Structure 1
Amino acid sequence: MYEPDKADLNEVLPDVRDGLTRTERIILHVLNETQKELNGRNVPTVMLYGRVQEYVDITEQELNEILGRMGARS
């Protein structure tokens, strides 16, 4: 029987402090840093996706689902 290791669980279980998963926290961090670079302007999803890919293996669809749950407008 497959038993996920601790790293797998950290990816999918929300943290008790804020309810965010590791992936969600990375997305928010990258979004914040990119907004600073763009002087507060909106960050194109494609740009965000490329930068998030440097930290997490995620598909565009997964990113869009997470952004939708977080309340991002399309």
Structure 2
Amino acid sequence: MKDDHLDAWLEAIPDVRDGLTRTERIILHVLNETQKELKGRNVPTVMLYGRVLEYVNISEEDLHLYLDRLGVKGDGR
């Protein structure tokens, strides 16, 4: 049986190699892949959110917090 508390605790620990958590790494990976798909154009947050949800269950508000922490800025749309 899976221990959700242990998973949450492990998720919160940054990786020693780069200081990113699993969720941060997923967000950056999905953002990069989507930018490639869009040929370098900005990725709408709602599109990013939908794709990130395929990997990790987070709220839209949490995604914005992660993006702010990672220094990812939108164009105001």
- Taking structure 1 as the reference length, what is the TM-score of the superposition? 0.88
2:24 matches 1:24: yes
Write out per-residue CA displacement over residues 6-64 of structure 1, whole angstroms, 9 at most, x where no aligned residue.
Answer: x3233111000000000000000000000000001110000000000000000000000
Residue 28 of structure 1 aligns with an amino acid whose one-letter code is L
Q: Is the 8 A contact 1:15 1:21 kept in 2?
A: yes
Deviation (angstroms), 1:72: 1.6
Q: How many residues align?
A: 70
Residue 9 of structure 1 aligns with an amino acid whose one-letter code is W
- Deviating above 6 A after TM superposition, structure 1's stretches of 4 or more consecutive aligned residues are none
Determine which structure has greater relative contact order: mean sequence separation of CA pairs < 8 Å that are 6+ residues apart, divided by chain length: 2
Q: Is the 8 A contact 1:30 1:52 kept in 2?
A: yes
Aligned to 1:66: 66
Gaps of 5+ in 2: none
Gaps of 5+ in 1: none
2:50 matches 1:50: yes
- Taking structure 2 as the reference length, what is the TM-score of the superposition? 0.85
**Greater alpha carbon shift after TM alignment, 44-53 vs 7-16:** 7-16
